[in-house]
Amino acid sequence: MKVSEVADLVGISVRTLHYYDQIGLLTPAYTDLTGYRVYSDQDLEKLQQILFFKQLDFPLKKIKEIMNDPDYDQNEALEMQRNLLLEKRNRLDQVIKTINKSIRYRKGEVTMSKKEKFVGFDFSKNPYKAEARKRWGDSTVDQTNEKLERMNAQDKKAFQDQFNDIYRKLAEIRHIDPASEMAQKEIKKWYDYLNKIGNYPPTVFKGLGQMYVEDERFTKNIDQFGEGLAEFMCAAMEEFADRNK
Amino acid sequence: MKVSEVADLVGISVRTLHYYDQIGLLTPAYTDLTGYRVYSDQDLEKLQQILFFKQLDFPLKKIKEIMNDPDYDQNEALEMQRNLLLEKRNRLDQVIKTINKSIRYRKGEVTMSKKEKFVGFDFSKNPYKAEARKRWGDSTVDQTNEKLERMNAQDKKAFQDQFNDIYRKLAEIRHIDPASEMAQKEIKKWYDYLNKIGNYPPTVFKGLGQMYVEDERFTKNIDQFGEGLAEFMCAAMEEFADRNK
DNA sequence: ATAAGCTATAACGCAACGTTAGAGTCAAGA
DNA sequence: TCTTGACTCTAACGTTGCGTTATAGCTTAT
């Protein structure tokens, strides 16, 4: 298929296809001798994937990165995208609720607090930041916290002390090579700690590490122990996961 | 309220508020003597409106234009936004259906045509292009066409001849002043023609005119009678509406 | 009074295309 | 066969909606 055929089929512009080719996101199957782009059915499949991601406001760079990952599995991706889309619809429902209430508010039928008027918008929580959480299942730090809350006071304290110890030590050595034995030994403690509470196989552990630097909320929290700690941990965790997979 | 208070409340950045001020989309109630922006509760209401529009992918320019219109009615706007949001949710549901089917397709459970794989995306139909259609109710040219189809052949031909006459004449004079008596006389014929078929009060008539230049599909069709005709008609229709409201 | 945290303007940066501009290609009809 | 209109290419600049420094004034607490 030629450019405009594809463009018409999926409802995007020719320029968009040119651009995707240019940035290496979607290279046509081949170009004929006159330089015309020719797309295969496989290319269409890939394009469909891309558009799903776009619906979820993933930046093109991220999309490329994700789809180039040797571990990329289309079935897994489809499942993930479905979840994210459902999440997106929930947010949309929130916005619709807000607007419904706003209409009634204008009629004087109900009251609305300032906060309420903006429920559902939530521009800060880009769906793609929740990606890691979804992609790596539900084993997030948040869950860890939940579990901690269900423990008794004594155990809780013990765990929190451990937590602090681990972080403080990591903060101390945060300027050395993350792949060094020293760093790996300490990061293993973090790995073991997590696995006392939940189930974190190496791949999940690695994904968690990436979240530390990609989600500012985590970065901030972690960097309270020392600036750059999140980045250091991310690198160390990646190395650890690669060694132990 | 100061900038960051507003920003925190609604979940947008300070820079965004600065920018909205800069382009005159949302000017704070006043600035104190040191130059600090101070937002009122009314400003918050307006900001809410803006964010609703943004959810619908209206460009900021459009939002500004719409909200600056002296005819702008917040209640009407809220109703419209609600409709558009519902529409958006329907499209999202379509995408979700498509992805569900894609998952089953990958498992070999069902077949999918090429077109089917892209149902719901439809980037060409930006919601804001449907704006006019929604805003001015359901009295669109499309409806006109529908009505025409339900007429018998004779009447139909008579109407189409009339239609052609009107357009040809308008095309002939399309370089004169749209506000001139000549132009206004001819555009009145178009107005009367439409009102024989449907119900087009002046405001609707005006909106229709704008659609001629904003929706390329209309522009193309109309300009077949002569390049620039759509623009000419739009101007004439606006003038006509202003005189007859 | 000095630091920490807020505010301001100004200016550059950036993604994801849209929009010309200039030139080659292809399909169909006169 | 020639031409004409529709399609294609690359190249390059323009646009939107901010993010991101950088520099400087303000405000509040210690």
Spatial distance between the Cα atoms of A185 and B192, rounded to a whole number of angstroms: 85
Chain C nucleotides near the protein (CB, 7 A): 6-9, 15-19, 24-26
Chain D nucleotides near the protein (CB, 7 A): 7-10, 16-20, 25-27
Are the C-beta atoms of residues A95 and B55 closer than 8 Å to each other?
yes
Predicted confidence at residue A142, as pLDDT, reads 45
Predicted confidence at residue A138, as pLDDT, reads 38
Taking CB atoms within 8 Å and a gap of at least 24, the contacts of A177-185 are: A178/A232, A178/A235, A178/A236, A178/A238, A178/A239, A179/A235, A179/A236, A179/A239, A183/A232, A183/A236, A183/A239, A184/A236, A184/A239, A184/A240, A184/A243
- Could A11 and B82 be called an inter-chain contact, meaning their C-beta atoms sit closer than 8 Å? no
Q: A160: which residues sit within 8 A by CB, 6+ positions away?
A: A148
Tokens 């009505």, located at residue: B147
Kind and range of the H or E run holding A30: strand A30-31
List residues in chain A touching B: CB distance below 8 A. 9-12, 41, 44-45, 48, 51-52, 55, 74-75, 78-79, 81-82, 85-86, 88-89, 92-93, 95-96, 99-100, 102-103, 106, 114-115, 117-118, 121-124
Instruction: Choose from A79-83, B65-69, B214-218 the range with maximum mean pLDDT.
Output: B65-69
> Which tens digits make up the pLDDT trace of A168-196?
889 889 889 999 999 999 999 988 877 76
Within 8 A of A123 by CB-CB distance, chain B residues are: 11-12
Nearest to A82 among B55, B99, B106 (CB): B99
Are the C-beta atoms of residues A56 and A77 closer than 8 Å to each other?
no
Spatial distance between the Cα atoms of B83 and B56, rounded to a whole number of angstroms: 11
Least confident of A173-177, A201-205, B206-210: A201-205
Q: Which residue has the higher pLDDT, B19 or A119?
A: B19
Are the C-beta atoms of residues B233 and B209 closer than 8 Å to each other?
yes
The alpha carbon of residue B95 is apart from the nearest alpha carbon of chain A, in Å, by 8
- Could A103 and B75 be called an inter-chain contact, meaning their C-beta atoms sit closer than 8 Å? yes
Predicted confidence at residue B140, as pLDDT, reads 41
DSSP assignment letter at A58: -
Report whether pLDDT(A144) > 60: no
Question: Which whole-number Å values give the CA distances from B230 to A58, B187, B203, B237, in the listed order?
Answer: 38, 12, 18, 10
Protein A195 CA to nucleic acid D7 C1', in Å?
60
DSSP assignment letter at B20: H
Nearest to A89 among B48, B92, B117 (CB): B92
- Using CA of residue A61, residue A66, residue A70, residue A72, what is the dihedral sign? negative
Report whether pLDDT(B216) > 80: no
Task: Give the mean pLDDT of A29-35.
Answer: 92
Report whether pLDDT(A140) > 60: no
Protein B166 CA to nucleic acid D16 C1', in Å?
39
B16 Cβ nearer than 7 Å to chain D strand: yes
In terms of CA atoms, which chain B residue is nearest residue A101? B78
Q: B138: which residues sit within 8 A by CB, 6+ positions away?
A: none
Please give the structure tokens belonging to residue B15: 């820079």
A219 Cβ nearer than 7 Å to chain D strand: no
Q: A88: which residues sit within 8 A by CB, 6+ positions away?
A: A55, A56, A127, B92
Within 8 A of A86 by CB-CB distance, chain B residues are: 96
Please give the structure tokens belonging to residue A29: 């199957």
Question: Which whole-number Å values give the CA distances from B193 to A2, A12, A227, B59, in the listed order?
Answer: 43, 36, 72, 34
In terms of CA atoms, which chain B residue is nearest residue A10? B118
Nearest to B124 among A11, A55, A82 (CB): A11
Return the SS3 of B37.
strand
Nearest to A106 among B75, B117, B118 (CB): B75
> Which tens digits make up the pLDDT trace of A219-233?
766 777 787 888 899
Q: Which residue has the higher pLDDT, B63 or B209?
A: B63
Please give the structure tokens belonging to residue A107: 């009629």
Q: What pTM value is reported for the model?
A: 0.63
Spatial distance between the Cα atoms of B107 and B84, rounded to a whole number of angstroms: 35
B15 Cβ nearer than 7 Å to chain D strand: yes
Predicted confidence at residue A26, as pLDDT, reads 96
- Mean of the per-residue pLDDT values for chain B? 79
ipTM here: 0.65
Spatial distance between the Cα atoms of B47 and A203, rounded to a whole number of angstroms: 43
Please give the structure tokens belonging to residue B210: 């704008």
Q: What is the residue type of B109?
A: E
> Which tens digits make up the pLDDT trace of B186-195?
999 988 877 7
Please give the structure tokens belonging to residue A60: 């093109």
A5 Cβ nearer than 7 Å to chain D strand: yes
Kind and range of the H or E run holding B38: strand B37-38
Percent of all residues in chain B with a pLDDT value above 90, rounded to a whole number: 20
Give the CA dihedral A126, A132, A134, A139, nearest 10 degrees: -130
- Cβ-in-10-Å burial (0-12, 13-18, 19+) of A38 comes to middle
